[in-house]
Structure 1
């Protein structure tokens, strides 16, 4: 695996490949600007705008051949991973500003989780990213690259059971 410096926070398995990466669009700062600029007169608006900017610049999203990753953090770093085998539901949404400026959110729920476990916030073309994720979830559930290994294991189990049956039949004949 070659590690790209852009993804120094990402530890991929040997066969895992990045399919898509993104970050919140800078356009998603517009609501914070709309609130922050008028409030900057009284000194409150600047922290709102700076906080929104830092949050956008320090968030990354990645879709790989094995799952979803989200990195957040301004002063510290938090990396969250959800494997495709754990994904229960995925949806996308666009609010008023997202519809106007061309961005939206992807929300991921996991099996056994309570509600939304991961959110790709303010990304460009959320519907296309959702379709990419759904395609790989389906591939994972159908066996994907592990199907050969699973089939081999099942064949070994079947052979073992057949041999056991033959042994039992031979023992019954002797009795």
Structure 2
């Protein structure tokens, strides 16, 4: 799965630090069923719109994976773009029909936290297991990165608190016992000669 160029997806607006990793349309062979049903119906004119709409739906649907999110774009005359960020992805799965298994395409489902169900589907994509693996990999990297940053921030806060506590204790000890500095000093010659 080579990274496509952003020129292929003119509808996609990436953030500054976001990079395009993968993008595709539904698998071409997923049109076989529509064509198989539509061609015989073309004799009675009903099949022509079925074949044309299936083709237009296929060519105007895009699925994209970037470094921060997954995108789905649909629409023939209008455009609908949906984005799900990796930090919201909770679960992924993929399914293949008998025909999809034979020709190497299937549907990848993406469930997010809080929705209680599937938030996005990549229908009829080539190599659905590889697409699912890429989504899972990016989601795990995002989660590990966030956890690492959170842990580092917590450690920095703890260190700052400990330093403040240490400074407060030192200041309290100095004010409570002003002779503390003199306790560690060496006795003068006259003090050393005094009998105990």
Provide the residue aligned with 1:24 in structure 2.
26
Q: Where does structure 2 lack aligned partners over 5 or more consecutive residues?
A: 177-196
1:166 aligns with 2:166: yes
Structure 1 spans left out of the alignment, 5+ residues: none
After TM superposition, the score normalised by the length of structure 1 is 0.86
Equivalent runs, 1:3-152 vs 2, <5 Å: 4-143=6-145, 147=148, 149-150=149-150, 152=152
Separation in 1, partners of 2:106, 2:134 = 15
CA RMSD of superposed structures (Å):
2.2
Deviations 1:123-162 (A, max 9, x none): 1111111111111111111117x84x54553343123322
Query: C-alpha distance in 2, partners of 1:13/1:87?
Result: 19
Could you give the per-residue CA deviations for residues 72-100 of structure 1, whole angstroms, max 9, x where no partner exists?
Answer: 11111111111111011101111122122
Residues in 1 aligned to 2:79 and 2:7: alpha-carbon distance in whole angstroms: 16
Count of aligned pairs: 171
- The answer on whether the counterparts of 2:6 and 2:20 sit within 8 Å (CA) in structure 1 is no
Secondary structure of 1:159 counterpart: helix
Task: Give the greater-gyration-radius structure (CA).
Answer: 2
Q: What is the TM-score when the length of structure 2 is the normalising length?
A: 0.78
